[in-house]
Amino acid sequence: MKLKAALPLIALAASACAHAQNPAPAAPADTSFRDRAPSEEIVYFVLPDRFENGDTSNDLGDFTGGPLDHGFDPTHKGFFHGGDLAGLTQRLDYLEGLGVTAIWFAPIFQNKPVQGPEGNESAGYHGYWVTDFTRPDGHFGSRAEFKAFVDAAHARGMKVYMDIITNHTADVIRYAEGDETGYAYRSKGDFPYSRKGGIDGPAINEGFAGDEDRSEANFAKLTDPSYAYTPVVPAAERQVKVPAWLNDPIYYHNRGDTTFTGESSRQGDFVGLDDLFTEHPRVVEGMIDIYAGWIRDTGIDGFRVDTARHVNPEFWQKFVPAMLETAKAAGIPNFHIFGEVYRDDHDNGYIAQYTRRDGFPAVLDFAFQQGIRETVSMGKGTYILNELFDGDVLYEGGEEAALGMPTFLGNHDMGRFTTMLRWDNADISTDEMLARTKLAHAMLLTLRGSPVIYYGAEQGFVGDGNDQAAREDMFPSRTDSYNDNTLIGTDATTAVSNFDTAHPLYRLIAELSEVRRAHDALSRGRQVVRHYGQEAGIFAASRFDPEDGREYLLVFNTSGETQSANVSLGYDARSFETLSGTCPAAVSAPGSAAFTLPAFGWAVCRVSERAE
């Protein structure tokens, strides 16, 4: 494929303005939004390519030719569909109405447009096949348009989180021996750095003491990358990566594909993507320089870090503090960094280790996601949620740190919560799916953590599966496998624009977001579990106002039948104010309140009167 000359930034920005419905507001003088703690944010996670096409002139990116050259094919679920930064900017009213206070989007860096074996190609619409870490992908817009989007969001008091990758690039490096071996992983024991092509090969890298000595002096002795495989870079791609140091194979592990287990989990190529040698001090320095530049130049508010568990802890121990220091110097005191540590388990011990050993301030709360799935979708006992929250003490910083963990119900990798409902419940009706989905969002928006709404959830999207099957278009789709989906809460399909502010899920999320923002207990308040059982049914937790200690009682029914329970609470509580659902007017006795909730119902109650 052949790159076109990049258009000047001014020309690209002018193109975007010509297509924009509303000009981007200037950056605000009031920066009080910076003072919000991560736990106070209501986050919207979106793939820019699938949200809104605000500028059709960039649909082919910086490329010419056919779909296998530029990657644009809106009929194919694995190719670019046309969404961009201009579209995100145009739809800020919609997001603000939903109650969103922070926008997290999939990576926007320049990607290799298409890769994969012949007949099974797909495109980098998702953003994870980076070739140039210093600019947005041409399919999304220019760096100037990115800054305009950040400024427009900030003008509304909304933060912006970037999704970043530090441990791999697009699949550019090949191995001379790769085709005959299937790119199988070659271990450090069988293929040490000291021999070329295995323990019986000729000596190389004299004096190199292995990757556990991470000093510059030691790595200066690593000069030959052909210890396991012989790296080969196609001529057309030898200078495709930016910054330029990324084009040198010496900065990659070059050991073959990961099996996601053992040593290969951190040393192998992630589904064929070129795996960076993150133990190398030049790689550490280079990644710090790249992302510190994005913070300083654009004023973003946080990073979601991709594939965090596939990187050696020592990398994070340097990278994370460097990012926090850069942000603080740039006047961003609450810069949020959260790592992706994928684990289908409501026991949060596994993900918590990354806050202790690796130094992440937060991790995506996969334990919360699994706990909600097990109780709301799979019908397991509500004791699951007690076990989940009991584990909050395991995070570095304990239960207070857990307040800032980004919680979610589904995402672009594992699939949508509605899809899981179908997987877990044979012959479930759309009405029951809607009821369970509403309950799950009520829990998401009131229990501890920083809630993340996966784009399209507020429009009742129901995907066919995970990955590409969970990445539908919000603007009118031309993808058949999306358009035949039956959505919930609406008669619409993905073949039409889905920005309906009257959708019952949009309204519910907006209402609960408003309640959350109005009551600090629901974003910054300590949480105490009050009621749970061995079967599906009532789960209850209290949250406390961080200033005056006033109690809020959250009660949920995960059962498909009406349930009643006497729920314990503080002995000073006397009466309630209903914030959502149905609350009793008063306690039954000091320390106890009687609740009766319909199937998949909930109650958010504020103690309005306390004993003196």
Q: Let me know: does 21 contact 146? Beta carbons within 8 Å.
A: no
Separation CA 182–CA 221 (nearest Å):
30
Q: Let me know: does 323 contact 291? Beta carbons within 8 Å.
A: yes
Q: Which residue among 84, 306, 374, 520 is the active-site one?
A: 306
* Residues paired with 567 in a beta bridge: 593
- Please measure the distance between the N-terminal and C-terminal CA atoms of the chain and give it in whole angstroms: 76
Q: Which residue among 49, 275, 340, 545 is the active-site one?
A: 340
C-beta atoms surrounding 306 within 10 Å: 20
Q: Let me know: does 343 contact 387? Beta carbons within 8 Å.
A: no
Residue 101's nearest CA partner among 153, 146, 50, 147 is 153
Distances (CA, A) of 608 to 22, 223, 503, 550, 580: 43, 70, 32, 8, 14
Q: Identify whether 400 is a catalytic site residue.
A: no
Cβ partners under 8 Å of residue 339, min gap 6: 304, 305, 308, 309, 316, 354, 358, 360, 362, 363, 364
Separation CA 425–CA 350 (nearest Å):
28
Give phi and psi for 463, each to the nearest 5.
-80, 170
Query: Would you say how long the chain is, in residues?
Result: 612
| Cα three-residue angle 79-462-20, rounded to 5 degrees | 55
Residue 514, Cβ density class (10 Å: 0-12 exposed, 13-18 middle, ≥19 buried): middle
Would you give the DSSP letter of residue 325?
Answer: H
Q: Identify whether 306 is a catalytic site residue.
A: yes
* Residues paired with 565 in a beta bridge: 595
Q: List active site positions.
A: 306, 340
